[in-house]
């Protein structure tokens, strides 16, 4: 009996690939280190028993049809899975999995705090200032920032990553914590004295607002003009979740009118483009009080290896007749 074929849409941390090959499976990896073109994806998935995809791949009915009826699983190398048509997969009884792990949670939480610290202490501005040889000596008014200590952090989405951010906020920086979610998180309240409140109240209360929600129809443009109008003018927004959770046009207006103090953005509404509309003369990169990173919140060696293994373990489970370990739902 022939061994299953696994198709991987891009090269990444190879621990999972090694685990699949050790099982004797035939593993084919797209040769180039870039997003696989649609035409290549449709051609290369033909006959595969498992597809290991990335969040940059749109996996839909056309892909399922191109792969063939033997396809048994789509293992998405990401915590999110909005790039996969779950309804089309369900119609064909193909399980879809994602790659949550403690390593990913901690990596994203660390990056969230890196953005908060950079915003509060104006690190990026100071770096540019110093490298431009503008520093002429100490001054009591030079690049004054703001403390994290004693400030209120509002977490929207108090799941695994939101909770990891909360732990750092309270235990490491002495911040006050408020949160908003579909349901209360009693552990968050017990461990960190977090206050559960509506998103509207949270926006009015918080000095820093950090987003940790998945991209769903209900969370698209969750933060838009009305939400920015509720925030303190001294507040900062941090988004390490998904780009379309924030209405980019509304964010640009809020920055231009100084409605908020700044933003730390790791994900973008029109990725891979940083700005959806470059003709409006309002670009995120033009604001000194905006920190931009290119979707790297989970980009640590440890997190990438963990994601690779989780994806492989899901494939190994399904191809051996067991249920998936991390079904996307």
Q: List the structure tokens of 269.
A: 């509404």
User: Which position among 10, 168, 212, 242 bears the catalytic label?
Assistant: 242
Cα 227 to Cα 203: distance, rounded to the nearest angstrom = 7
Cα 244 to Cα 30: distance, rounded to the nearest angstrom = 28
User: Which position among 121, 220, 221, 295 bears the catalytic label?
Assistant: 295
E strands present in the chain: 5-8, 26-29, 50-54, 73-77, 96-97, 152-156, 176-180, 195-196, 208-211, 236-239, 262-265, 290-292
User: Which position among 110, 204, 271, 302 bears the catalytic label?
Assistant: 271
Cα 82 to Cα 229: distance, rounded to the nearest angstrom = 28
Cα 96 to Cα 206: distance, rounded to the nearest angstrom = 36
How does DSSP classify residue 282?
Answer: -
Q: List the structure tokens of 255.
A: 């920055």
Q: Name the residue among 257, 252, 235 with its Cα closest to residue 292.
A: 252
How does DSSP classify residue 96?
Answer: E
- Strand-pairing partners, residue 54, are 77
Q: Give CA 8 to chain center in angstroms.
A: 21
> To which residue do tokens 């520093």 refer?
135
Q: Residue 111 catalytic?
A: no
Q: Residue 271 catalytic?
A: yes
Angle between helices 102-121 and 160-167 (to 10 degrees): 50
Q: Give CA 254 to chain center in angstroms.
A: 22
- The four Cα atoms 317, 320, 323, 329 give a dihedral, to 10 degrees, of 60
Cα 199 to Cα 156: distance, rounded to the nearest angstrom = 7
Q: Residue 242 catalytic?
A: yes
Catalytic residue positions, numbered: 242, 271, 295
């Amino acid at each position: 009996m022939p061994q299953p074929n696994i198709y991987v849409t891009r090269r990444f941390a190879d621990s999972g690939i090694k685990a699949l090959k050790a099982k004797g499976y035939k593993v084919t990896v797209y040769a180039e280190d870039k997003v696989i073109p649609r035409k290549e994806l449709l051609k290369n998935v033909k006959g595969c028993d498992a597809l290991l995809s990335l969040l940059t791949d749109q996996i839909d009915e056309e892909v399922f049809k191109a792969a063939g009826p033997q396809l048994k699983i789509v293992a998405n190398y990401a915590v999110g899975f909005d790039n996969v048509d779950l309804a089309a997969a369900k119609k064909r009884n193909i399980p879809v999995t994602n790659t949550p792990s403690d390593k990913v949670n901690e990596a994203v939480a660390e990056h969230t705090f890196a953005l908060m610290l950079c915003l509060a202490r104006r690190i990026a501005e100071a770096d540019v200032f110093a490298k431009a040889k503008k520093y002429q000596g100490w001054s009591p008014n030079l690049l004054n920032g703001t403390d994290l200590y004693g400030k209120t952090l509002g977490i929207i989405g108090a799941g695994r990553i939101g909770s990891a951010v909360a732990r750092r906020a309270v235990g490491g920086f002495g911040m006050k914590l408020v949160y908003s979610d579909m349901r209360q998180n009693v552990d968050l309240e017990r461990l960190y004295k977090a206050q559960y409140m509506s998103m509207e109240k949270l926006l009015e209360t918080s000095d820093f607002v950090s987003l940790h929600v998945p991209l769903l129809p209900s969370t698209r443009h969750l933060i838009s003009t009305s939400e920015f109008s509720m925030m303190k003018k001294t507040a900062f927004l941090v988004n390490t979740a998904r780009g379309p959770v924030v209405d980019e046009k509304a964010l640009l207006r809020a920055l231009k009118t100084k409605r908020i103090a700044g933003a730390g953005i790791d994900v973008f509404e029109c990725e891979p483009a940083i700005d959806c509309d470059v003709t409006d003369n309002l670009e995120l990169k033009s604001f000194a009080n905006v920190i931009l990173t290119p979707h790297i919140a989970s980009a640590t060696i440890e997190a990438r290896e963990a994601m690779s293994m989780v994806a492989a373990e899901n494939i190994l489970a399904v191809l051996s007749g067991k249920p998936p370990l991390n079904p996307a739902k």
